[in-house]
Amino acid sequence: MAITPSIAGADFDSTLDLPTSGDPRHNATLTLTVRYRLVFADSKNRAGIIVTVEGSPRARDGTGFRHFILDWDGPTRLKFTRALWRAERIWSFKFLLTPPMRYDGLDLPHPNKGWKFRPNVLCAFRFVPDDKPHITVTAVRAEGAMAGAFTSHAARATPRDMVLDYNDPWRPTLGHELGHVLGMLHILALKGDKACLADANAERCYGEKDYEKANIMGSGRELWPLNALPWRERIAAHTGVAADEWSVSMDMTRAPTVIGNGSSLLDI
């Protein structure tokens, strides 16, 4: 099956780029791109989430609780806008996919005549502002002591939307909510827990053990190979090779496999 280089999706776009240098040390790259529109919600722009309670503007969080808010100003808008770029550092180049032995669709000519090399696939992520977005990011400034209690959230159904507090780019929250945008459920659901697959928002689905809670799809920052699921599913769409046939490593230095003249990986 031929490789599909680019896929435009409702949730995110993706491109699969093979190395063009001819250098057998170079890997391929699969880039997932989420396009977003940023909206600053406050008393002047209610954006569908600001309500007035007892004369004060308040923002509804993911639980429906109404938090006191502050209005945005130039410096806070700029700081938040720049901080959103942290999203790429959180998710980009954290995983490497290795093709199954039977699949030779990525094989490229080696400088040694008659040899080939099979690149692995580096997993990249881009989060870019665009006037044709996949999602709308609505940002609020929850006031004072309530700021840490604001429950940010990302909708997994249409319309695509993510609601964030001003401080979220510096917390695990940004990476967690983008995990939802990429299609991941909470950690116990990712691990196959049947109850959490049925209701991934139950509190226990964020993790029961400390190491589960530490995962980015729990309440922490850690990434596991399990979190490469969006790239595994999308590489399947690009190549026609099932997602579960691609092995995941977090060793980004792993070199391509060199295949000698007249041999195959099935011989190695």
- Residue range 74-111, pLDDT digits in tens: 999 999 999 999 999 999 999 999 999 999 999 999 99
Average per-residue pLDDT in the chain? 91
Burial group, residue 154, by CB count within 10 angstroms (0-12, 13-18, 19+): buried
For residue 268, pLDDT beyond 50: no
Tell me, what's the pLDDT at 55?
87
Which alpha helices (H) appear in 51-170, and where do they start and end? 74-83, 86-91
Tell me, what's the pLDDT at 62?
83
Reference 139, options 188, 197, 82; nearest CA is 82
Reference 97, options 243, 205, 218, 203; nearest CA is 243
Tell me, what's the pLDDT at 78?
97
pLDDT in tens, 42-58: 999 988 888 898 888 99
Question: Which residues contact residue 33 at a Cβ distance below 8 angstroms, ignoring those fewer than 6 apart?
Answer: 12, 13, 14, 15, 125, 126, 127, 128
For residue 191, pLDDT beyond 60: yes
- Grade residue 266 by pLDDT with cuts at 50, 70 and 90: very low
- Grade residue 261 by pLDDT with cuts at 50, 70 and 90: confident
Sign of CA dihedral 221, 172, 235, 95: negative
pLDDT in tens, 8-40: 999 999 999 999 999 999 999 999 999 999 999
pLDDT in tens, 125-175: 999 999 999 999 999 998 864 455 788 887 655 457 899 999 999 999 999
What predicted TM-score, i.e. pTM, was given to this entire model?
0.92
